[in-house]
Amino acid sequence: MSISSINYSSSVLGSQIRNINQQLTDLSTQLSTGKLSQNYSGMGTNEGFAIAGRSQLSNIAAYTDTITNVNVNINLANTALQSLTTIRNTVQTGSANTAQDLNVNGQTVAQNTAAAQFGSMVGVLNTQSGNRYLFSGTAVNTQSVADAGDIINGTTTQAGFKTVLAERQAADLGASGKGRLVQTQPTASSVQVAEDAAGSPFGLKIKAVSSTLTGATVTGPSGSPVSFSVDLNGVNPNNGDKLSVQFTLPDGTTEQIDLTASTATPTPLGSFAIDASVPVNPNNTAANLNTALNTAITKLANTSLVAASAIVAGDNFFNTASSATGTPVNNQAATPVPITGATALSGASPSDSISPGFVAGDTITVNGTTLTFVSSGATGNQLNVGDSIQALLGKIDQITGTSKPSTVHGGVITINTDDAASLNITSSNTGALGSLGFGSTPVTATQPPLRVGSSPASSATTLVNGSATTVKWYLGNDGPGSPRSTAMARVDDSVTVQYGAQADEDAIRRQLQAIAVFGTFSTSPGGQYSGGQVSALSLRVTQALTQQPGQQRIEDIQTDIAMAQNTMKDASTRQTQAKAQLQSIIDQAESASPDQVASEILSLQNALQASYQTTSKLAQLSLVKFL
């Protein structure tokens, strides 16, 4: 019989001791690192939650970086917008100042300030965050606005605003300097005033005439081109009798000339002399009326009209809302009157309506949407045949979504659209569409800038697309859609923010335009009407820089991006809370309790000591002792 030796390494006790040692090593690692294990396999059954939590933490870290970057852009944009507000207030304060002292360049101090502020505003609009232009929409790598000098003075190949302004002023004033009005005396007892061309967008437009002149006959305004006449019929008016003529200016404002018959000597300003010769000759009174009317028209043309012309030149150059224009065919009223928004789309003679007009069953298709004419009871995309031109324009505007309503002004229909490329209008009744002034179909939009259509400008009767020969002031993205949507960021799993901006937004564009007009306009320092021109322009610029109900404001843009910032702040707060909770889950799944580990180490050390003692005794066994 043989007895095998006791082998420690292969014994149960040896194996147990090795296991205890390994456990002690693991527990020591846990105690030093605070982690249950250095690999996923040793983490236990809850490690799946920890892995998912760590993934969510990674997403939160990415969102945090995005929020930080977007906040930088928003803060820079908000600072820029606040600068624009400061610039607006500075120029508005200057334009509202009644002081009109002109320097050698024919400008006031306020105008010089405006010119400098225009350059500042251009610089602000070209603000960058890194290599991103903040006011270029989606065209983040493109400068938002052309250089200030190029915008005002032009380049070697393209005209700037100064040229457009001069052309428009010449076209509105006309060669005679009377606002494109032709004044004559058809007979010795009468005076007639007429617009020089039908459908021209330039000059003064005769709106209304009223008279208390005893014995006089007033005709019009009517005809094409529009005119009115006053015939004293060989009768002297009474002292204090009055003739009033109201004109519409290119910017849509109205001005009225009042001339009072007077026997005073000298004849007061705004009056005309009643003939006092013996015998009395009323034809001399008519001549005096003609002279007074000529003086008043000339003054109006060289003051308010010049200012209005500058404002409209700014619109022609800066306003990116595109338009289609047409001059309606004269209506069929017994006594023709100018086409207005109230003119009907159909009607039997005599009536204030276009001719030929629309009939039930006719259609007009706007950008693919069809409007149908019915006899009465129109609903939805329908129009009554007796509805007004303005009602039709309202329907068209609803379809195009224009930010600038279409108008009837000075006998001309203007259909505005924010997207020139998309405007397309056709009709089943081309004759009626032609009566609205749109002789060729489809009707499409002209893209500004608009320029005087022929030379010399003083006799021009049209505006034409000047894109090829005129500086483009806005260089960024100008596609359809909200400017805010041109910059978007995901800041949470289900939350995105929009914070884009464009320099051609209405509030920004109107301010840049008004400041450019005020800072560019100049007049003759010693001119007879220079003070009146600057005064009339200052009034209009002050009005343009005053926020009007329904118009976008700089503050509205700031509010929009502030809302994006608040949304990010809320998301960040939620993420901070979620981050703490996720970290707790991970810690619970992966962290080792120091107290528990220390207790387990102590227990294992006791077990290991007992094992060593037992092993020691076993190691001293001999065959004799064993037996």
The pLDDT averaged over each successive group of 10 residues in the chain (627 residues) is 49 60 56 51 51 66 86 94 96 86 91 96 95 93 96 96 97 97 96 94 95 96 94 96 96 94 95 93 96 97 97 91 70 62 83 87 93 93 92 92 79 79 88 85 81 95 90 85 87 89 93 97 93 95 90 92 91 77 57 54 59 60 56
Which H or E run contains 606?
Answer: helix 594-619
The set of long-range contacts for 466-470, using a CB threshold of 8 Å and a minimum separation of 24, is 466/159, 466/164, 469/157, 469/158, 469/159, 470/154, 470/158, 470/159, 470/160, 470/164, 470/317
Prediction pTM value: 0.75
Task: Please tell me the distance from the alpha carbon of residue 155 to that of residue 159, in angstroms, as a whole number.
Answer: 6
Looking at residue 18, its pLDDT comes to 65
Residue 217's DSSP bridge partners are 231
Looking at residue 171, its pLDDT comes to 97
Residue 206, Cα to own-chain centre: how many angstroms? 32
How many H helices and E strands in the chain? 14, 21
Backbone angles phi, psi at 390, to 5 degrees: -65, -35
Q: In angstroms, what CA-CA distances link 50 with 29, 31, 53, 56, 67?
A: 20, 20, 5, 10, 25
Task: Please tell me the distance from the alpha carbon of residue 126 to that of residue 123, in angstroms, as a whole number.
Answer: 5
Q: Judge contact between 274 and 216, C-beta under 8 A.
A: no
Looking at residue 612, its pLDDT comes to 59
Which H or E run contains 193?
Answer: strand 190-195
Tokens (6 digits) for 35:
């982690």
Tokens (6 digits) for 401:
């979504």
